[in-house]
Structure 1
Amino acid sequence: MSQITLIKQLSIIRDTRQPRKVHHNLVDVLFLAITAVISGCEGWEEIQDFGNDKLDWLRKYLPFSGGIPTDDTISRVFQLIDPKEFQKCFATWMKSCCEMSHGDVIAIDGKTLRGSFNKKDKSDTIHMVSAFAAANSVVLGQVKTNAKSNEITAIPKLLDLLDVRGCLVTIDAMGCQTKIAKKIVDKGGDYLLPVKDNQERLQTALDGIFSIRRLELPETEAYTTKEKGHGREDSRMCMVADANEIGDLVFEWPGLKTLGYVVSFRTEKDMQTTVAVKFYISSAKLDAKSLLEASRAHWTVENNLHWQLDISMNDDSCRIRQQNSTENLATVRHTSLNLLKNEKSFDGGIKRKHKQANRSDSYRELVVSGLSLL
């Protein structure tokens, strides 16, 4: 795989500032922001402070001929950067340095940036839709939408940035749309989509096919798991069937091969048991074990991305929202998170890695040297 450095990609981004007023190279400002966020900085002032403290270290990689920009300058630069260009650079970089294996799960899900609203109108909160490689635990790309309900239109734009060939793309029930399924198949991937009442005819057909009684049939393929921990016990059972069992509906979904049924039982320590049932469709030929594992892999995007952004990077608390700043800073956070997760020599969580990178120039150097940043 031919690797492309992120720094090279960032140099492609158009600088829309007036040339005679430019004192700080765009790539310098972006590299400063990425390394500062790796070191736990959260806002423009902290990024400037980091730069002033670490200028000699930063000059090992880029000239910084204009010195360190002020927080106001950093803010203006992030307002002016075209976020689509930045996201395209990010996705191209990740395509180059993150090799996916056949059947790997790419989970697509959205997250609201809760601090991005305008105080006068909280309806304008920004929603980012991200693609997450479950096995590698890294972000592959992201796009912005202004509401969760707009994920349906954002997902195809995100797919345009990704290489999904040979991968299994999972999305929540909102993404269970024939156009999205076709987009995934046309790009050489497979889909695994949960079916709910937004696809009423399909849901009714699956409900008629699957039942607990089906387990008694000798030809039924099923897979079960049991887990104990955190004061509860979880049991899951999955059955699959050939897509032709839904009759003519099979022709509405591109390449549809597998129907799935997953029932989950959770018993809390007070002995109260809850039951949840989900139906799935997939263009991949999956057995019961593979479908159950892939459906569970989808939720790594919640635990290993969204939770990390909230808890380790205070994503929801950030009130930066001028022009393109929120969207561009989200891409910087994703970049920094990928680099921190890729660095394995320090056995600690993201918060500890932030502090280690802040204290140690040599450790920060290890982080930025990963994933072809330089």
Structure 2
Amino acid sequence: AEWMKACHDVTDGAVVAIDGKTLRGSYCRGKGKGAIHMVSAFSAANGVVLGQVKTAEKSNEITAIPELLKLLNLQGCLVTIDAMGCQKKIATSILQKGADYLLSVKDNQPKLVDAFETAFPMPRVVNFDGDAYVTDEKSRGRQETRYHIVSEFTPEFQELSYEWPRLKTVGVVMSFRQEEGQVPAVPTIRYYISSADLSAKKLAEAARQHWFVENKLHWSLDVALREDACKIHRGQAAENLARVRHIALNYLKGEKSFKGGIRRKQKKAALDESYLATVLAV
């Protein structure tokens, strides 16, 4: 984290996504040792890891996220976390770092869910007359349309606004997915709360960028660096190697002169010492 502070500045308004990943190969059945879980902060704009902490299991993300926040310089950023991290203490910790939060809401916060379902029934969502934004993506025979709406908190959220620090914006995202030649699937509805004054377009961008931590970090760790295939688990080795992979991934993504994926950059660095020196000089 200190190294990333020294060499990487996060710009105002940038999305920092926080999410966890279980290292599946780090368990040992014979020793009764469970797989470790790494919680990482990922800069969506630059594709680099800003910091990480280890937990014993996924359920401990609630206690790990505040520890991770202490390590980071988040002034002016928008911190996005999935429903596991939708907690009042975590929201307060983010604000204390000079950042804003965008939290996904699910059943672990029943009062918020009830307020959303009351304030935004399906007819109102479909015929919403406020700020709305639609995105449409087509890829590999699949089409996904997302409909985003945002609102200042309505009377249904009035009481909750005193519980959630600096709550300004509530948002609803309804997505439709259709495979080629098939009937569209039932729409998926997701709820969000934020301390930032977000437009529907900004909500769409931030919600999409949150998933970069899955698509650009976790996917690269598994496919390029084969993290889940690593069976090393003795002592702190699994955690240490996870940190080394994050550092290596940051270096490889930071090197822009060679136009290739992470696997090709790895191979080129292994075979060409001059290129390896270029990577390490990033």
Question: Fold conserved (TM > 0.5)?
Answer: yes
The structural deviation recorded for 1:244 is 4.8
Aligned 1:181-200 pairs, distance under 5 A: 181-200=91-110
The structural deviation recorded for 1:118 is 1.0
Question: What is the aligned-residue identity percentage?
Answer: 54
Which segments of 5 or more consecutive residues in structure 2 lack a partner in the other structure?
none
In 2, the alpha carbon distance for the partners of 1:223 and 1:291 equals 9
The structural deviation recorded for 1:108 is 0.4
| Correspondent of 2:165 among 254, 259, 280 | 254
Residue 315 (structure 1) aligned with residue 227 (structure 2): yes
| Correspondent of 1:229 among 124, 139, 144 | 139
Residue in structure 2 matched with residue 179 of structure 1 by the alignment: 89
The structural deviation recorded for 1:321 is 1.0
Maintained 8 Å contact 1:244/1:250: no
Structure holding more strand per residue: 2
Q: Which runs of 4+ in 1 moved over 6 A?
A: none
| Correspondent of 2:120 among 183, 204, 210 | 210
| Correspondent of 1:349 among 231, 253, 261 | 261
In 2, the alpha carbon distance for the partners of 1:254 and 1:208 equals 21
Residue 101 (structure 1) aligned with residue 16 (structure 2): no
The structural deviation recorded for 1:301 is 0.3
Based on CA coordinates, which of the two structures has the bigger radius of gyration?
A: 1
In 1, the alpha carbon distance for the partners of 2:229 and 2:14 equals 33
3-state SS, counterpart of residue 301 of structure 1: helix
Residue in structure 2 matched with residue 141 of structure 1 by the alignment: 51
1:198-217 CA-partner distances (Å, limit 9, x unpaired): 00011110111123433535
Aligned 1:38-77 pairs, distance under 5 A: none
In 1, the alpha carbon distance for the partners of 2:74 and 2:202 equals 18
Change (3 A) 1:122 1:110: farther
Residue 324 (structure 1) aligned with residue 236 (structure 2): yes
Residue 150 (structure 1) aligned with residue 60 (structure 2): yes
Residue in structure 2 matched with residue 72 of structure 1 by the alignment: none
The AA in structure 1 aligned to 2:88 is T
3-state SS, counterpart of residue 198 of structure 1: coil
Maintained 8 Å contact 2:142/2:180: yes
**More relative contact order, 1 or 2 (CA 8 Å, 6+ apart):** 1
In 2, the alpha carbon distance for the partners of 1:217 and 1:229 equals 28
Normalised to the residue count of structure 2, the TM-score between the two structures is: 0.96
The structural deviation recorded for 1:293 is 1.0
Residue in structure 2 matched with residue 368 of structure 1 by the alignment: 280
In 2, the alpha carbon distance for the partners of 1:261 and 1:217 equals 11
In 2, the alpha carbon distance for the partners of 1:248 and 1:94 equals 40
Maintained 8 Å contact 2:119/2:154: no
The AA in structure 2 aligned to 1:225 is T
Aligned-residue CA RMSD in angstroms? 1.2
The AA in structure 2 aligned to 1:330 is A
Residue 111 (structure 1) aligned with residue 21 (structure 2): yes
Structure holding more helix per residue: 1
The structural deviation recorded for 1:129 is 0.4
Which segments of 5 or more consecutive residues in structure 1 lack a partner in the other structure?
1-90
Maintained 8 Å contact 2:17/2:41: yes
Maintained 8 Å contact 2:18/2:79: yes
In 1, the alpha carbon distance for the partners of 2:11 and 2:277 equals 29
In 2, the alpha carbon distance for the partners of 1:107 and 1:226 equals 23
Aligned residues, how many?
A: 279
The structural deviation recorded for 1:270 is 3.3
Aligned 1:286-325 pairs, distance under 5 A: 286-325=198-237
3-state SS, counterpart of residue 75 of structure 2: coil
The AA in structure 2 aligned to 1:238 is H
